[in-house]
Amino acid sequence: MIVVSDTPAGWRKSSFSGNEYECVEVALQTDQVRARDSKDRTGPQLVFGAQAWREFVAAVVTGQLGAP
């Protein structure tokens, strides 16, 4: 699902990105996770169910998605 919202929802990004604005920010909520482009904070957001997000993160951590 893609939504557009500029409402602050506890957005955060990787500490490895420093003060740069070229990264993905995420907002963790009870039953979903929102992701957005830090360069366009009022633009569209991707919305993932909590379980789908956990599976995605696990796949990234274990290298199941391959190299970029």
| DSSP assignment of 44-65 | EEEEEEHHHHHHHHHHHHTTTT
18-52 burial: b if 16+ Cβ within 10 Å, else e: eeeeeeebbbeeeeebbbbeeeeeeeebebbeeee
Task: Read off the pLDDT of residues 8-53 as tens digits, 9 standing for 90 and up.
Answer: 568 888 877 777 667 889 998 889 999 999 888 889 999 999 999 9
pTM (predicted TM-score): 0.71
Q: Provide the pLDDT for residue 16.
A: 78
Higher pLDDT, 4 or 32: 32
Structure tokens at 42: 């009022």
